[in-house]
Structure 1
Amino acid sequence: MNSIGIIISIICLIIGGVAGLMFSRSGLNSKAKYIIKDAKKNADNLLDKAKIEAESVRKDKQLQAKEKFLELKSLHDEDVQLREKKIADIEKRTKDKEQKLNDELSRTKKLETNLEKQVEDYSRKQEIIDKKNTDLDAVIAQKVGILEKVANFTAEEAKAELVDALKAEAKTKAQAHVQNIMEEAQLNAKTEAKKIVIQTIQRIGTEQAIENSVSVFNIESDDVKGRIIGREGRNIRALEAATGVEIIVDDTPEAILLSCFDPVRREIARLSLHRLVTDGRIHPARIEEVVEKTRKSIDEEIIEVGKRTVIDLGIHGVHPELVKVIGRMKYRSSYGQNLLQHSREVANIAATMAAELGLNVKLAKRAGLLHDIGKVPEEESELPHALLGMQWAEKYGENKEVVNAIGAHHDEIEMTSLLSPIIQVADGISGARPGARRQVLESYIQRLKDLESTAMSFEGVSSAYAIQAGRELRVMVESGKVNDAVAAQLSYDISEKIQNEMTYPGQVRITVIRETRSVNIAR
């Protein structure tokens, strides 16, 4: 405010001076001089007023500065007092700790003093005891000497004779007692075991049908055979390539043979042929479409079979993936014995045994149904089927007793519950009856699987099928990855690997098939 007044005063003076000059030059009259005088007066007044205001502002600023100084000084004093207080508290705590430490040292010294006194007392008492023991040993030796003279036996001889007599008597009694217990336990165990097994077989035993590796597809007339074969055999080749099943068309009237070790492939081929013959349109593109649809319907049927099985057995809460595995067992066999029928039978046998023994029937039935799920993996595994099934059961939240029964039914792991030996026995009962299994078929199927797995291990192979009872291996390759030269080399490499790593009768022909398809759509 004071600076603005000074500026105004200066401007007035300048204006007055300029006006005076102008009026003096133009010879104005005394009125102009009066105006100039009045302007100077006003300017002086403004200057005085500005000085007064400036002084007032200066005093105000000095007062504010003093107040700010006092405020900062007060804050500083408070901060100093607070720090001094903290320092005093720290010093007090330090003194308290020092005092406690001194007290602890004093108590420790007292304890050390007392301990030294106790050690001295113990040493003195130990010396007294040792002296008494020495005197006692001397007295005992004297008494023993007197007894040896009277009995004509040394102490060691008497002790040895007494010990031998007691051992012989105890051994005789123990052997007799153990023999009685063993005979009684064996008699009772054999009787009870025979009773349980016989009752179980009588109640649960069912007929077992042995599957083979050939299915018969019946046709109305032999004219259909020519349509299935197609021009230059293209239809039958397309069907074999799509399903991996060997189609045998011979002189058998009104019948075509489907040969494959995999029951699922045979069923897909059989249903696909049925649809194609019923529809009447048989050509390679239609064959691939029908086979794909049939494969999807078989997958749905597998799930439905699994659901029906668990419902029939009264088993609840099975994980959907395990239900699917159970359904796949319908199309698998174990040594010629249908795996699903075998598992159902084991479940019923185990449930009956558990009921006879007073154990959990539901858990026994569940473990019996799931004990062989490791035999139907979608991909080949190096693990034994019992351990693989145990991993699946554990993964999908099965009971610990069920998991152990699955893993231990072939003694791969230790049995930890009574349910495990029941499943093992039930599995043996189901497979040991005459005609239930065939070892030859199982080894044959495994050899065909190994053939296909060997071919699939090479890069560029899209699918491989063992046909003609394992005498031929057809390998389909991806045309974009494998050219004709590589296909020829691939056939040789596969044959060498099979020859070096596998054991098989006769010879195996390896046929590598490479085809290029060009597809366009007319709109």
Structure 2
Amino acid sequence: MDQSMLTAIIGLVALLAGIVAGKFIFAKNTKQKIEEAEAQARKLVADAQTNAETIKQQKQLEAKEKFLALRAEHDKEVLERNRKLSETENRARQKEQSINAKADQLDKQIKENEAIKDNLNRQIEVVNLKRTELEKHQEEHIRRLEKIAGLTADEAKKQLVESLKQEAHTQALALQQEIVDDARQKANKEARKIIIQTIQRTAAEQAIENSITVFNLESDEIKGQIIGREGRNIRAIEAATGVDLIVDDTPEAIILSSFDPLRREIARLSLQRLVADGRIHPARIEEVVEKTRRQIEEQVIEIGERTVIELGIHGLHKELVRIVGKMRFRSSYGQNLLMHSREVANLCGIMAAELGLNPKLAKRAGLLHDIGKVPDEESELSHALLGAKLAEKYGENPAVVNAIGAHHDEMEMQYVISPIVQACDAISGARPGARREIMQQYLQRIKELENLAMSYQGVEKAYAIQAGRELRVIVEAEKVTDNDSDKLSFDIAQKIQTEMTYPGQIKVTVIRERRAVNVAK
């Protein structure tokens, strides 16, 4: 063999040896990995068994706890059921005891009733025996009377009936007169009661307005601006508003004079806006007065709508609503016309309800009864007839029209609510504080009231208080007794009622006081 072949054989042998060595090493590594995999598998099996045991124990514990909870809940339900059963048994036992007690009581009452019945039967037998004896005695007595009087029982009975008839007729006439007098007295009393309740249930507002309005200023410097150069501004205000402006030495004030409260209100608001604006000249004055007049007209409608809504009056014509609003700026005898009409409306509603009439219709007539006092145009008719004419013109109910026209007896009263409106108008006008009096007349009435009380024997002092609504009379304890005090109070009240004219009522209080004074030295 040559050298190259030998080298090739050696190389081949080395290659085969390397392959054999590689297979041996691979087999060794594979066996080692298999052993490691088996060890890891055994470890996983052991861990799985351990986890399974742990989960098994946990489930057993959970099952045991759930069992204990269910058992506790069951025991609780059993206890609650037993408690309810026990309560039911107790109630049943108590009812049974109560029924037994009532049964015993009923038996006792039955026995008592039987004893009473036996006693009554015995008494009835005794009464029947006595009645038989009485009838015998009565027959014997009648025979004796017939023998003595010479009359039979029928004849005596006829005479007796005739005499009883005459006596009964006389008594019936007297009783009839008593009933009539009592009915008249009760009717008067009931009428007073209705009127008094009506007055007491109505809250009267006192609103008195004068013929002047005082406009207050921040300083007297503004007076010059209002007067203007050569008085042109004040002449423009008077011409635009129809109100006289009196600017005198009164500090920080201007007097607005007019018989018409609506004009005074327009002038007051216009002045207020002019002063606040600072621009006071004839053109601006006319613009502001016109704007204020339009706003006042809107305010009049708003006042009328608010009034009818507050009184619960529906379906009133818009023109009548405007007239109602205008009454806010009118007064009669110093009494604000709207406040007076609202008061009359409430009084009419209450009184009509007391008498079983329609209160809404009566309230409507009461509110509108003086609309003739605020006409848009002057008329020769009286305010009652003019108001009735306006109400008829705007489609009011005939009963309302008649009540308006008849509340001063200028029309014949044809409906029941007419006298109600008349009475409520008088009540509103006559209540204390409603209408003003001249100061001299007021002082004269107060003085006459005190002098009337002082004219009685034993009166020491007399004071008219609460604007003449109460008279307090202080008497001398040595001359007037307690009984005399009662009589004196009654006599003074009667004398005031017969001799004096006054609105409302006057309370007379007689005070008798005795003092014993000693001095310790």
Could you state the TM-score of these two structures normalised by the residue count of structure 1? 0.50
CA distance in 2, matches of 1:405, 1:178: 37
Partner residue, 2:387: 389
Cα distance, 1:378 vs. partner? 1.2
Partner residue, 2:359: 361
CA distance in 2, matches of 1:176, 1:330: 57
Secondary structure in 1 matching 2:250: coil
Q: Over the residues paired in the alignment, what is the CA RMSD in angstroms?
A: 2.4
CA distance in 2, matches of 1:408, 1:232: 54
Moved over 6 A (4+): 171-175
Instruction: String of CA shifts for 1:6-63, please: whole Å, max 9, x gaps.
Output: xxxxxxxxxxxxxxxxxxxxxxxxxxxxxxxxxxxxxxxxxxxxxxxxxxxxxxxxxx
Instruction: String of CA shifts for 1:404-445, please: whole Å, max 9, x gaps.
Output: 11111111111112111111111110000122113779xxxx
Partner residue, 2:423: 425
Partner residue, 1:372: 370
Cα distance, 1:400 vs. partner? 1.5
CA contact (8 A) 1:344 1:369 kept: yes
Instruction: String of CA shifts for 1:333-366, please: whole Å, max 9, x gaps.
Output: 1111000000000000111101111111111111
CA distance in 2, matches of 1:227, 1:297: 25
Aligned identity (percent) is: 73
Partner residue, 2:404: 406
CA contact (8 A) 2:385 2:405 kept: yes
Alpha carbons of structure 1 residues 175 and 417: separation in structure 2 relative to 1, 3 Å: farther
Partner residue, 1:228: 226
Work out which of the residue numbers 236, 249, 252 in structure 2 matches 1:251: 249
CA contact (8 A) 1:343 1:369 kept: yes
Cα distance, 1:244 vs. partner? 1.3
Alpha carbons of structure 1 residues 432 and 277: separation in structure 2 relative to 1, 3 Å: same
Partner residue, 2:296: 298
Cα distance, 1:179 vs. partner? 3.9
Work out which of the residue numbers 426, 438, 461 in structure 1 matches 2:436: 438
Cα distance, 1:184 vs. partner? 2.3
Taking CA–CA contacts closer than 8 Å with sequence separation of 6 or more, which of the two structures ends up with the larger relative contact order?
Answer: 1
Structure 2, unaligned stretches of length 5 or more? 1-166, 440-521
CA contact (8 A) 2:244 2:256 kept: yes
Partner residue, 2:323: 325
Cα distance, 1:300 vs. partner? 1.0
CA contact (8 A) 2:402 2:418 kept: yes
In the alignment, residue 235 of structure 2 is paired with which amino acid?
R
Cα distance, 1:310 vs. partner? 0.3
Partner residue, 1:335: 333
Partner residue, 1:48: none
Cα distance, 1:297 vs. partner? 1.1
The 5 A counterparts of 1:4-403 are: 179-403=177-401
Structure 1, unaligned stretches of length 5 or more? 1-168, 442-523
In the alignment, residue 261 of structure 2 is paired with which amino acid?
P
Partner residue, 2:452: none
Secondary structure in 2 matching 1:299: helix
CA distance in 1, matches of 2:401, 2:388: 5
Cα distance, 1:207 vs. partner? 3.3
CA distance in 1, matches of 2:202, 2:193: 14
Alpha carbons of structure 1 residues 414 and 219: separation in structure 2 relative to 1, 3 Å: same
CA distance in 2, matches of 1:262, 1:426: 26
CA distance in 1, matches of 2:398, 2:426: 22
In the alignment, residue 389 of structure 1 is paired with which amino acid?
G
Secondary structure in 1 matching 2:215: strand
CA distance in 2, matches of 1:176, 1:421: 34
Instruction: String of CA shifts for 1:304-325, please: whole Å, max 9, x gaps.
Output: 1100000011110000010010
CA distance in 2, matches of 1:234, 1:223: 17
In the alignment, residue 420 of structure 2 is paired with which amino acid?
I
Cα distance, 1:181 vs. partner? 4.9
In the alignment, residue 333 of structure 1 is paired with which amino acid?
S
CA distance in 2, matches of 1:414, 1:172: 42
Secondary structure in 2 matching 1:204: coil
CA contact (8 A) 1:335 1:440 kept: no
Cα distance, 1:255 vs. partner? 1.4
Alpha carbons of structure 1 residues 400 and 260: separation in structure 2 relative to 1, 3 Å: same
In the alignment, residue 280 of structure 2 is paired with which amino acid?
I
Q: How many residues align?
A: 274
CA contact (8 A) 1:242 1:288 kept: yes
Secondary structure in 1 matching 2:256: strand
In the alignment, residue 200 of structure 1 is paired with which amino acid?
T
CA contact (8 A) 2:207 2:339 kept: no
Cα distance, 1:209 vs. partner? 2.3
CA distance in 2, matches of 1:386, 1:173: 51
CA distance in 1, matches of 2:383, 2:175: 44
Partner residue, 1:415: 413
Alpha carbons of structure 1 residues 383 and 192: separation in structure 2 relative to 1, 3 Å: same
In the alignment, residue 424 of structure 1 is paired with which amino acid?
Q
Alpha carbons of structure 1 residues 401 and 301: separation in structure 2 relative to 1, 3 Å: same
In the alignment, residue 301 of structure 1 is paired with which amino acid?
Q
Cα distance, 1:195 vs. partner? 0.8
Could you state the TM-score of these two structures normalised by the residue count of structure 2? 0.50
In the alignment, residue 254 of structure 1 is paired with which amino acid?
E
CA contact (8 A) 2:384 2:406 kept: yes
In the alignment, residue 422 of structure 1 is paired with which amino acid?
I
CA contact (8 A) 1:216 1:256 kept: yes
- Out of 432-441 and 296-305, give the one that drifted further: 432-441
Cα distance, 1:173 vs. partner? 9.2
In the alignment, residue 401 of structure 1 is paired with which amino acid?
A
CA distance in 1, matches of 2:370, 2:180: 36
Secondary structure in 2 matching 1:363: helix
